[in-house]
Structure 1
Amino acid sequence: MSLDKKKLSLYALTWPIFVEIFLHMLMGNADTLMLSQYSDDSVAAVGVSNQVLSLIIVMFGFVATGTSILVSQNLGADKITSAREVAVVSLIINLAFGFLLSVLIFAFNGQILSLMDIPQELRGEASTYLTIVGGFSFIQALIMTAGATLRSYEFTKDAMYITIGMNILNVIGNYLFIFGPFGIPVLGVEGVSISTVVSRTIGLIAISFVLVKRIPGIFSVNRLFPVQHIKDLLRIGIPSAGEHLSYNGSQMAITYFIAILGTEALTTKVYAQNLMMFIFLFALAISQGTQIMIGHMIGRKDFQSAYERCIKSLKTSIIISLGMAVIFALFSEPLLRIFTSNDDIIYLGSILIWLTIILEPGRSFNLVVISSLRAAGDVKFPVYVGILSMWGVSVFLSYLLGIVFGLGLIGVWISFIADEWLRGLIMLRRWRSKVWMDKGFIGKASAK
């Protein structure tokens, strides 16, 4: 199953991941775009709720990240049984964890929104979305884990096809509940929430079927809770989650600052970041494909190929991200008019997209190099640097420039740029030091 046997290129591995991520982003943007025809306040409410849900998804992601890396390393080392054991224990852990977090969101969504101090006019719809989508978030936990397993086995197209189906169902559901054809009641945010949950449920059924078909005997392993696999999952996953939690936590703090500026500023942020997602998805797809390839290379102890793969992927990512940022900046005004006719939002949003030309190359460093470090088992260093930079640079400068100096969202975007470039350059230096060559988990386990 190792990559050298199949000779799978980065392109062959990455393009289905790109399409899948694109469609995931499209699903979120479909909600935003359709709701923008209904109400700008509804867009802001869903945007704030998704800020909370993204934090929850990170909690699920720590298992999915560990799954991807460990399955890739085991397959690279030709440890087929161990790869299956990792996949099964990951699904069980994330199912239990998902149920717990779903119950907590369902029970305490009001208190969560109060902590964020969002405008009163947004709270009703934000609570509705958070209750319905958050209450069933365990479904997303299972989809993420199953998808990570399929991608590590290099079945990236299967995950892509399932995401296509989920998007189609989500858009159909949005249309029915927002525009109310055939006498169907117009439910707005509630309808979008229901559509999201139903499409994810059907997606979970589909990906479960594919998992059983593509990996014969996956659920017939002898050990459901092998201690070593659990330790390795936690050893990789918890630090990785720490980095993502720090990022999402810092984003929630910055959203709190933006809320001080008012509902229009919140809405502008949502629209601008929705467009930005389509810029950095190239780097995100490349980083995930690179992580799988490097995981296999680390499993078979081909460290030099792993080193070169990261550098090549980084160069590709920077070039593509920079080019896409320029294109989006040139067409920022008509793109923003897809979402809103508010001239103030369009003007400020366009400035933010132009600033993205500087931001996105820096983000490429973080996405590609940090994924490579994780795949090599070097998971703690990115967390330490990330926490210091995200809070010491991004959050601090957002408040200083955006609120104290009165630059508003422009000041916030400048803080994003400073954070991404500082962390990115530090990560590149770490990769070039090659200290990660002694971090591989498969090698350590075998030596014991």
Structure 2
Amino acid sequence: MAPQSTPKIWSLTWPIMIEMMLQFMLGTADTLMVSRISDDAVAVVGISNMFFNAVIILFSLITSGAGILIAQKLGAGKPDEARKIGIMSVSITAMLGMIVSALLIYGTPFFAEALHVPDNLRELSHTYMSIVGGGMMITALNLSMSTAVRNTGNTRSPMYIALGMNALHVVLNYAFIFGAFGFPEWGLKGVAISTVISRAVAFCFQQHLFRHAFGVPVLLREFCRFHAKLLKEVLRIGWPISVNGASWTFSQVVIFSMIASMGEQPLAARTYMNTMESFAFTFGWSLALAAQIQIAHLYGAKKLRQAYYGAYRALGFGVVVVLANTGILLLFRSFIISTFTKDPWIIDMAVSLLWLNLALQPGKMLNMALGQSLGAVGDSRTVMKYSLPSMWLIAVGVSYVLAVPLHWGLYGIYVGMISDEYIRGLLCYFRWRSHRKKHLFAEAFREPAAVRSSDNSSGVVPL
């Protein structure tokens, strides 16, 4: 079968961007509504969600590798193999999700202690973590299905599902937190219940979308079939991405634990900063994910020059946008922070940290764009080798030294995180350049001019 036409970067980006923005709005709505309960409740949601992000990384062992291979197989004209990979990824993540849900329902006291959650927040954390954690199987299924669908080039449909899920979540939050519409006033417990219900409703639509994503509807019996060769390909790409993602997330959990040991105010301030920073890099992350899908399609179709230059184009657009978004946050900084909290210490700290985002966000974009591009061509193992030492020696090690022994507090945390982003980003940049000269793209740049012109010698990827 002929290779599938390569999706344009903008047609991939804007639905992902809207979906990410909706997720950002969901997190903002959560934080804003929970802040009406107390700053303690905000701190619990912040550290719990960071922990859940670490748990979700486990599912990326399968979903990340599967997504890249689905795009590559479709680009190479092998839709049957893409279908088999998508189905396997859903089956395996469902099994992982069941195990994780059981552990989180019964093991929250252990995890809260491991995260150094302050004693006065333990009861709140147990309530929130056990309910949301118990729904991790639904989260796993949603992740695997949406990743598969998105890598077929259909980024719009997952966006519509996210829109509905976020709208429902906000309404249920309002009902369950404040006792509106005749519901009981459940507070933080209501936020957790709202999260699980909205994800379950999204799953109902997500499974219908996935079933029709590969042409002929997927049958239930297909989920019982495993293809060893394809699974090996998935794991080859997926395990380094998963290890890399897990390492980053767990490093953030360790950093959050450091902040938690400083007290409730620094923990709440960092949670509010997470919410605001999400706005700054949402478009950049969306662009990096879209570039990964497009580059994987191009690489599978052997359009190597377009694949190579596509990474730089995504990087250039991304840096401009994340700086513009950070500028907007700085312009309205006092108003935005005071919307979340009235605590003067938290407000002053968050405003100060926002200035450091002018340095942080371009480094994040460099890392995201080139890291995702390397993953798209199957070079995820190198990214992992670069990233692990930097995350733990720089992001964690430097942050700890500056924040604790030297008493820089949250400023020290940010210096460590900024240094880590640029070190990893620059290493990915030099690795990507090396592929043009010596490795994956070298053949395309050695071809005669007549051959190159037939493969878009300018390297411009259409928007």
**Shorter-chain TM-score tier:** over 0.9
- Post-superposition CA distance 1:57-104 (Å, at most 9, x none): 111122221121010000000001001000101100100011111111
Residue number in structure 1 paired with 2:57: 58
Residue number in structure 1 paired with 2:440: 437
| Paired letter, 2:374 | L
- C-alpha spacing 1:325/1:3, structure 2 compared with 1 (3 Å): farther
- C-alpha spacing 1:61/1:357, structure 2 compared with 1 (3 Å): same
SS of alignment partner, residue 347 of structure 1:
helix
Shift of 1:120: 0.9
Contact kept, 8 Å, 2:305 with 2:441, in 1: the verdict is: no
- Post-superposition CA distance 1:262-307 (Å, at most 9, x none): 1000000000111001111111100110000011111112221110
- C-alpha spacing 1:324/1:2, structure 2 compared with 1 (3 Å): farther
Alpha-carbon distance in 2 for matches of 1:119, 1:96: 33
Residue number in structure 1 paired with 2:403: 402
Same amino acid, percent of matched pairs: 34
Structure 2: segments with no counterpart, 5+ residues: 443-463
Alpha-carbon distance in 2 for matches of 1:2, 1:130: 48
| Paired letter, 1:394 | A
Residue number in structure 1 paired with 2:9: 10
Contact kept, 8 Å, 1:71 with 1:149, in 2: the verdict is: yes
| Paired letter, 1:432 | R
SS of alignment partner, residue 404 of structure 2:
helix
TM-score by length of 1: 0.95
Contact kept, 8 Å, 1:2 with 1:296, in 2: the verdict is: no
Alpha-carbon distance in 2 for matches of 1:423, 1:2: 37
- Post-superposition CA distance 1:168-199 (Å, at most 9, x none): 11001100011112442111111000000000
Residue number in structure 1 paired with 2:193: 194
**Mapping of residues 208-287 of structure 1, within 5 Å:** 208-220=207-219, 224-287=225-288
- Post-superposition CA distance 1:118-156 (Å, at most 9, x none): 111111111111101111111111111111111111111
Residue number in structure 2 paired with 1:150: 149
Contact kept, 8 Å, 1:102 with 1:137, in 2: the verdict is: yes
- C-alpha spacing 1:436/1:356, structure 2 compared with 1 (3 Å): farther
Alpha-carbon distance in 1 for matches of 2:68, 2:224: 20
Residue number in structure 1 paired with 2:453: none
Contact kept, 8 Å, 1:46 with 1:125, in 2: the verdict is: no
| Paired letter, 1:15 | W
After TM superposition, the structure 1 stretch with the greater mean CA deviation from structure 2, 328-337 or 219-228, is: 219-228
Contact kept, 8 Å, 1:329 with 1:357, in 2: the verdict is: no
TM-score by length of 2: 0.92
Shift of 1:211: 1.9
Please state if 1:180 is matched with 2:179: yes
Contact kept, 8 Å, 1:105 with 1:130, in 2: the verdict is: yes
Please state if 1:300 is matched with 2:308: no
Shift of 1:222: 10
Alpha-carbon distance in 1 for matches of 2:420, 2:24: 23
Structure 1: segments with no counterpart, 5+ residues: 440-448
Residue number in structure 2 paired with 1:91: 90
SS of alignment partner, residue 338 of structure 1:
helix
Shift of 1:322: 1.4
* Runs of 4 or more above 4 Å deviation: 1-4, 220-223
Please state if 1:21 is matched with 2:24: no
- Post-superposition CA distance 1:328-347 (Å, at most 9, x none): 12222111111111111011
Alpha-carbon distance in 1 for matches of 2:233, 2:258: 38
Contact kept, 8 Å, 2:3 with 2:78, in 1: the verdict is: no
Alpha-carbon distance in 2 for matches of 1:115, 1:438: 45
Shift of 1:28: 2.0
- C-alpha spacing 1:297/1:345, structure 2 compared with 1 (3 Å): same
Please state if 1:383 is matched with 2:391: no
SS of alignment partner, residue 8 of structure 1:
coil
SS of alignment partner, residue 107 of structure 2:
helix
Contact kept, 8 Å, 2:161 with 2:206, in 1: the verdict is: yes
- Post-superposition CA distance 1:204-243 (Å, at most 9, x none): 0101112223433252569821111110111111110111
| Paired letter, 1:402 | A
Residue number in structure 1 paired with 2:458: none
Alpha-carbon distance in 1 for matches of 2:399, 2:73: 42
